[in-house]
Amino acid sequence: MTRVVISGTGLYQPPHVITNAELVEAFNAYAALQNEKNATAIAAGEITAMTPSSVEFIEKASGIRQRYVLDKAGVLDPTRMYPRFAERPDNQISLMAEIAADAARKALAAAGKTGADVDAVYCAAANMQRAYPAMAVEIQQAIGAGGYGFDMNVACSSATFAIEQAVNAVKSGSAKCALVVNPEITSAHLEWRDRDCHFIFGDVCTAVVIEATDTATSSDQWEVLGTKLATQFSNAIRNNFGFMNRSEDADPNARDKTFRQEGRKVFKEVVPMAAAHIENHLKTLNFEPTQVRRYWLHQANLGMNQLVLKKLVGREVGDDIAPLILDTYANTASAGSIVSFHEHHGDMVAGDLGVICSFGAGYSIGSVIARKL
């Protein structure tokens, strides 16, 4: 049986930071403008006045302190409240492919490979920039890869679901060296005008190189011992944006065409599901949760991760067991657990066991159990 490793990871970090203070200032300015505009209707009781956001709430409820974004000015403009991206001509690489190619080149350098070694590209993300041609094929061309590429979307679990496809492709021999990229431009689909969620997301892109042990030359290899995917339908995290909107005569700016969720419900339902998923996955490989040196969990909420870990190992654990990147990057959809892995595995030694686990819309949960070689 072919043994498969993660032999390199790469990260594209957007150029702009938005702190919670900047975010709240812009939101509150927007809310004041709306209240001024709607003063008569508010006074008549026809609509409810918007309430301000607060830095204290955001930090207490989520653990998020700042986020990276590709465009800051548009998001913080109280008369706009979403990023401003220039439409690109067909002969220019798409923004998603551009940041993915950057992360991919870094991951390939870490793995000691070039684009020419890659024969499978999975562009896995919570949102896709266009319908076709697939961003993965554009990325394939940008890095000079061969083989095939396709896009896939499993919301916040896109990365782990793609890793399973990549691992299976290498195991079956349909690919020799697979690249998983997760360009998450969440700022374009976040509703920055809704105080319940305006603080949640940030932009980033991660890349992971997956190949067989017999081709890997990297000094940093993680053998994938197993992957496990699960989905269970839920409406608690939803976005109705899609290609049918025009034919449905739907308002493209309606609230349901951007990200929305019932945060508390998600929190309550997903914590036990994620803990049970990881425990069962470890059991199939005869491991106990306490044998895991590090958990790189989905980065949606600090309290959520602490609870998942408490259920798993029976005690409070700190950053050494479950490193947090949410405070700096916010929720970066499918890239979060990979950013955590990328930034927090350098100190680990041969034989150490780790679990990458994502959870999100769908619901969807994906886990990857890996051991440092």
As annotated, the active-site residues are: 156
160, 299 Cβ separation under 8 angstroms: no
β-bridge mates for residue 30, sequence order: none
Q: Which residues contact 144 (CB under 8 A, 6 or more apart)?
A: 114, 115, 116
Lookup: tokens for 225: 């011992």
13, 28, 38, 54: which one binds ligand CO8 (CB under 6 A)? 54
Stretch that binds ligand CO8, among 55-63, 67-75, 167-175, 311-319 (CB under 6 A): 55-63
Letter string b/e over residues 46-63, b meaning 16 or more CB atoms within 10 A of that residue's CB? eeeebeebbbeebeebbb
Lookup: tokens for 10: 């790469």
- Asked if 288 interacts with ligand CO8 (CB under 6 A), we say no
**Residues 224-253 vs ligand CO8: string with x where CB under 6 A?**
-------------x----------------
Q: How far is the CB of 86 from ligand CO8 (least distance, A)?
A: 20
**Residues 296-325 vs ligand CO8: string with x where CB under 6 A?**
----xx--x---------------------
Q: 3-state class of 33 per DSSP? A: helix
Lookup: tokens for 287: 């491991």
- In degrees, rounded to 5, the angle at the alpha carbon of residue 195 between the alpha carbons of residues 189 and 198 is 35
Give the Å distances, CA to CA, from 108 to 164, 323, 335, 373. Answer: 19, 24, 17, 18
266, 339, 368, 370: which one binds ligand CO8 (CB under 6 A)? 266
- Asked if 196 interacts with ligand CO8 (CB under 6 A), we say yes
Q: Which residues contact 267 (CB under 8 A, 6 or more apart)?
A: 301, 303, 304
- Asked if 75 interacts with ligand CO8 (CB under 6 A), we say no
- Asked if 30 interacts with ligand CO8 (CB under 6 A), we say no
Lookup: tokens for 144: 């000079």
- Which helix (H) or strand (E) segment holds residue 59: the answer is helix 55-62
Residues in 85-124 that interact with ligand CO8 by CB under 6 A: none
When CB distances to ligand CO8 are compared, the closest residue is 360
Q: 3-state class of 247 per DSSP? A: coil
How many Å apart are CA 60 and CA 34, to the nearest integer? 27
Q: How far is the CB of 155 from ligand CO8 (least distance, A)?
A: 4
Q: How far is the CB of 158 from ligand CO8 (least distance, A)?
A: 9
How many Å apart are CA 153 and CA 223, to the nearest integer? 25
Cβ neighbours, 10 Å, residue 79:
7
Residue 127 or 140: which CB sits closer to ligand CO8?
Answer: 127
Q: 3-state class of 289 per DSSP? A: helix
Stretch that binds ligand CO8, among 54-62, 103-111, 131-139, 215-223 (CB under 6 A): 54-62
75, 154, 155, 230: which one binds ligand CO8 (CB under 6 A)? 155
16, 105, 189, 257: which one binds ligand CO8 (CB under 6 A)? 189
Stretch that binds ligand CO8, among 104-112, 175-183, 186-194, 347-355 (CB under 6 A): 186-194
Q: How far is the CB of 125 from ligand CO8 (least distance, A)?
A: 9
Stretch that binds ligand CO8, among 1-9, 10-18, 195-203, 276-284 (CB under 6 A): 195-203
How many Å apart are CA 194 and CA 210, to the nearest integer? 39
- Asked if 339 interacts with ligand CO8 (CB under 6 A), we say no
9, 20, 53, 234: which one binds ligand CO8 (CB under 6 A)? 53
Residue 114 or 239: which CB sits closer to ligand CO8?
Answer: 239
Output Rg (C-alpha) for the chain, integer angstroms. 21
Residues that bind ligand CO8 (CB under 6 A): 53-54, 57-58, 61-62, 126-127, 155-156, 186, 189-190, 195-196, 199, 201, 237, 259, 261, 263-264, 266-267, 300-301, 304, 331, 333, 360-361
